[in-house]
Chain A
Amino acid sequence: MHIIIGGAYNGKLAYVEQLLNNEQVSFFHGELPTDNTHGEMAVMTNFEAISQPYLQMDEMAAAALIFEEIMQSSVQFKQLYIVATDIGRGIVPIDATQRKQRDVLGRLYQMLFKESESITRVWYGIPQKLK
């Protein structure tokens, strides 16, 4: 697993696309891969949407469930690239569900960071290796 993280509109996806230029890639925007999708490389994006159905649950439980699903589906692919938008550095939202989402994704990203063999932060198109 490889993680690419950074703020919104920082060029994360363009970075991954250029990285996997010559590969056969399946993209999953805001959804988890289904059982019958296979391929060489997978790119998953939009964890804000993926987390939506889990936001009524306990923070840790929600993160753990999403994490498990990602890990299960990752075995179908030779490599999994996670494109994570960092949403944890802004003003605390007034809406409770939005606050929950920040918390859940923060926990999820921590779990994914532990598991991932590489982590790259992208800042306006420039990559920085964190792990």
Chain B
Amino acid sequence: MDQAEWLFITGGVRSGKSHFAEKKVDEIADQQNRMRYYIASGVAFDSEMKKRIERHQIDRQQQQWITLEQPTNLAQLSTKISSEAVVLWDCATTWLTNELYVEVDGKMQWQNESAFQTMLESTKSTLRALHERGIPLIIVSNEVLDEQSYASEEVAFYRQQLGLFHQWLVGESTTAIEMTYTIPYYWKGSEK
């Protein structure tokens, strides 16, 4: 059997990443008779964010999606997902933001280097394990690193960790795409 697809998609805001990703999931679900799983990382902290989440939900209503709310601690997913799944995770940037502020031993995780690294390793091994079970993964993230560095230690840490995580995702993926307003550029792999 061929290796399951691991697709990584980044792009700017409103570039059509999520739409492209959802179409890709539909394709795989139909061809391989798989169940659509949606890992939601967004937290509705204001009304705009609530609307944003609702729009993504409406987009998914036509098909049968199983939505798993997982703002942090992705390791919890391993037992919640069937091997007959195709998984869409949207998106890594909001997840990483959430993880920064998880409290571990009285410290926020971004200030607790060892806790942060442990979390990162378990996230990576969870994703790897899902993929090794033959589950196709589609992971969406954002391009936010093409600007000046920040004086804020917190933002600098976030940028560094996001960049490193993206590098890891690209390394693991079978296909890596940068989306520019609906036009995909294939950095790795090709259109199937």
Using A9-B164, A126-B176 as known contacts, say yes or no to A102 and B171 having CB atoms under 8 A apart: no
Contact assessment for A101 and B143 in the assembled complex, using a CB-CB cutoff below 8 Å: no
- A10: chain B residues at CB < 8 Å are 145, 163, 166-167
- Min C-beta distance of B146 to chain A, whole Å: 4
- B160: chain A residues at CB < 8 Å are 8-9
Using A124-B170, A126-B176, A126-B188 as known contacts, say yes or no to A86 and B146 having CB atoms under 8 A apart: yes
Size of interface on B: residues with Cβ below 8 Å to A: 21
Contact assessment for B146 and A9 in the assembled complex, using a CB-CB cutoff below 8 Å: no
Main secondary structure of the interface of A (DSSP, over half): loop
Minimal Cβ-Cβ distance residue in A for B143: A7
Q: Which of A17-25, A75-83, A89-97 contacts B (4 or more CB under 8 A)?
A: A89-97
Say yes or no for B162: interface residue by CB 8 A criterion.
yes
**C-beta contact mask, B123-166 vs A, less than 8 Å → 1, else 0?**
00000000000000000000111111100000000011011101
Please list the residues of chain A having a beta carbon within 8 angstroms of any beta carbon in chain B: 7-11, 48, 86-91, 93, 98, 101-102, 123-126, 128
Please list the residues of chain B having a beta carbon within 8 angstroms of any beta carbon in chain A: 143-149, 159-160, 162-164, 166-167, 169-171, 176, 178, 187-188
Known A-B contacts: A8-B163, A11-B167. Give 19 more (CB < 8 A). Answer: A9-B145, A9-B162, A11-B163, A86-B146, A87-B149, A88-B147, A89-B146, A89-B147, A90-B146, A90-B147, A91-B147, A101-B148, A123-B187, A124-B166, A124-B176, A124-B187, A125-B167, A125-B170, A126-B170
